[in-house]
Amino acid sequence: MKVLLLATRGVDQAPVLSERLGASMLPLLDRPFLQHGVECLVRWGATEIDFILCHLPEKVEAFFGTGERWGCRFRYHLVRDPERPFRPLANALASHRETPLVLADGEVLPLVENLGMSVDSSRLLMEDNGSGETRWSGWAVISSGHCPAVEATADATDLEAALINAGAMEEELPATLTVRDPTTLLHATRTILDRGVPHLMHTAREVEEKIWLSRDVGIHPTARITPPVYLDEGCRIGKLADIGPYAVLGKGCVVDEKTCIRDSVVLPMSYIGKDLSLEGSVVDKNCLVNTSIGSELTVTDAFIIGNLAENELRHRLARLGSRITGVFLLVVFSPLLITTLSALSLFRKGPCLPHLNVVSLPTLADETHWHTFAFATCEAKGPDPATWEARWWHFFLVFLPGLIHVVRGRMRLVGLGPRTTDAIRSLPEDWRHITLTGKGGLITEAMLHFGPRPGEDELYAAETVYTVSSGPLYDAKLLLKYAGQLLGVIPRPGKP
């Protein structure tokens, strides 16, 4: 059975939380909601799952990988519009297939034993909308002999109409779990803690009635636990803390003394400070969402709530290593840089080192935190990172003078091309997030793989791939590839 699994949207009503996770990647107990969906699909007979991604695709792909862990084959498709993500579905319907095709919404999970794949007809799976009426859940089973005409630019309403017009039947589901925003996450959590979904998997053990504890959980003797409660691996509960009912603490969370948590979900590696009271809330590190009043707050005081996962030492070491390498290369190539600057000062009209004010990366999404610096190169018209190409003029006019920025710690040798404030503002939301969370570099994935003028989709794909893959070894690989293209050992991508 082949499945097209949609995971395209961010978290509704929580823009800060949405910068960190897609809606389907919000954790339900000890794992992302999307993983529960994948495990159900595998149990129902899925052998191929094609993920259709848009919002933070790198996190989904990094988490699920090739599918070997689940005995499936996973593939990933990237779409630009989260509201019109059905181009892969249109392509699948147009191709020959001998088995039914399942369309699944990663934010909705049907609570059924199976999908009834033996029924030889196409079906739209409907859910209760909460007011006694039904609506399409986003799930559909399309039989092998059914090939409805679906436009690649269709939205969900268009697709539903196309399937119904092609003869698909409507089948009402007995119940569903939905996770689209913090409110629906809390509702789904309550359903599971009340044993409303017994077949979903988790790793904790039920030590008392409706109290689930994973391994290495520490609870102070004076703390009070009121069921239902789920405490994941490595949690620490301080003295006189009051946890529950309907409280879930993710892996590695720490709750300080005299703090009360009810009807709330605390995401992994979060710290909850002293004398706090959380109710109807979702907490992710320093982000607090209160569903009762519909507010979202980023807390800057780490003594109130904070992040236990930050590894500042690792980032400092990586930055220091980049600067040391930059110093070494600058010393080695300083005669070439001096010669280049001297030649330009003699033969070029205008400044030797034109510059643009570019944003220092990584940075936060809030523009008030953006810091710019004068990025200077020897290019006559100033730097244009989208069109850089690995050739000698790039080496002399961009790479050599850019080493000064590497030594100062403003950039890395390998990373994302620097952009101005206006250029970042003009990017689509997902692309802007990738840019702001990445690091600026002199050598980019795009210029090594797509040549001097990559298309917009190629540039977006290259920066997404780099964000997923970046690390010391991967950066070293790209640096060696750059050197190989300069020396002619590795062929450069052809010009369009």
Backbone angles phi, psi at 86, to 5 degrees: -100, 15
Predicted confidence at residue 95, as pLDDT, reads 84
Predicted confidence at residue 491, as pLDDT, reads 82
Question: Which CATH class, in words, describes the domain spanning 203-307?
Answer: mainly beta
Burial 27-62 (b: 16+ CB within 10 A, else e): bbbbbbbbbbbbbbbbebebeebbbbbbbbbbbbbe
Q: Look up residue 186 and give its amino acid.
A: L
Note the pLDDT tens digit of each residue in 220-242: 999 999 999 999 999 999 989 99
Q: Kindly tell me if the per-residue pLDDT of 28 is higher than 90.
A: yes
Predicted confidence at residue 418, as pLDDT, reads 87
The pTM of the whole model exceeds 0.75: no
Give the separation between CA 248 and CA 227, rounded to whole angstroms: 11
Predicted confidence at residue 102, as pLDDT, reads 94
Predicted confidence at residue 449, as pLDDT, reads 86
Give the separation between CA 402 and CA 410, rounded to whole angstroms: 10
Residues 6+ apart with CB under 8 A from 301: none
Tokens of 43: 């149990």
Single out the residue of 453, 455, 440 nearest to residue 410, CA to CA.
Answer: 440
Which residues, in sequence order, are bridge partners of residue 385?
none
Task: Please count the other Cβ atoms lying within 10 Å of the Cβ belonging to residue 67.
Answer: 18
Task: Please count the other Cβ atoms lying within 10 Å of the Cβ belonging to residue 205.
Answer: 10
Note the pLDDT tens digit of each residue in 145-183: 777 888 889 999 999 999 998 888 999 999 999 999 999
Q: Look up residue 415 and give its amino acid.
A: G
Q: What 3 state SS string does 252-296 have? A: CCEECCCCEEECEEECCCEEECCCCEEECEEEECCEEEECCCCEE
Tokens of 140: 């559909």
Give the separation between CA 227 and CA 230, rounded to whole angstroms: 9
Alpha carbon separation from 449 to 149, 475, 477, 481 (Å, rounded) = 36, 14, 13, 10
Lowest mean pLDDT among 5-9, 267-271, 446-450: 446-450
Q: Look up residue 238 and give its amino acid.
A: G
Note the pLDDT tens digit of each residue in 374-399: 987 766 554 444 444 546 778 888 89
In total, the chain counts a number of residues equal to 496
The pLDDT confidence band at residue 129, using thresholds 50, 70 and 90, is: confident
Q: Which of 203-217, 436-450, 479-493 has the highest mean pLDDT?
A: 203-217
Predicted confidence at residue 366, as pLDDT, reads 63
Predicted confidence at residue 379, as pLDDT, reads 62
Give the separation between CA 188 and CA 454, rounded to whole angstroms: 44
In which element (H, E) is residue 326 found?
helix 312-347
Radius of gyration of the chain (CA): 26
In which element (H, E) is residue 402 found?
helix 400-407
Is the backbone peptide bond immediately before 182 cis, with ω within 30 degrees of 0? no
Tokens of 80: 């630009």
E runs forming strands in 59-217: 73-78, 101-105, 108-110, 123-128, 134-142, 169-172, 176-178, 205-208, 211-213
Give the separation between CA 5 and CA 75, rounded to whole angstroms: 10
Lowest mean pLDDT among 55-69, 182-196, 225-239, 452-466: 452-466
Cα atoms found within 13 Å of the Cα of residue 56, Cβ hemisphere only: 19
Give the chain's largest Cα–Cα span.
Answer: 83
107 and 23 Cβ atoms separated by less than 8 Å: yes
Residues 6+ apart with CB under 8 A from 90: 150, 151, 152, 154
Average pLDDT value over all residues in the chain: 88
Q: Kindly tell me if the per-residue pLDDT of 276 is higher than 90.
A: yes
* Cα distance between the two ends of the chain: 40
Name the superfamily (CATH) of residues 2-178: Spore Coat Polysaccharide Biosynthesis Protein SpsA; Chain A (3.90.550.10)
Single out the residue of 183, 172, 167 nearest to residue 121, CA to CA.
Answer: 167
Give the separation between CA 460 and CA 377, rounded to whole angstroms: 24
Give the separation between CA 79 and CA 82, rounded to whole angstroms: 7
Burial 171-180 (b: 16+ CB within 10 A, else e): bebeebbbbb
Give the separation between CA 42 and CA 45, rounded to whole angstroms: 5
Q: Tokens 């309403």, residue?
A: 157
- Angle (CA) 233 239 243, round 5°: 55
Domain regions of the chain by residue span: 2-178, 203-307, 312-487
Give the separation between CA 248 and CA 274, rounded to whole angstroms: 18
24 and 106 Cβ atoms separated by less than 8 Å: yes
Predicted confidence at residue 332, as pLDDT, reads 94
Note the pLDDT tens digit of each residue in 92-113: 988 877 888 999 999 999 999 8
How many helices and strands in the chain, by DSSP H and E? Answer: 14, 32
Tokens of 94: 């147009």
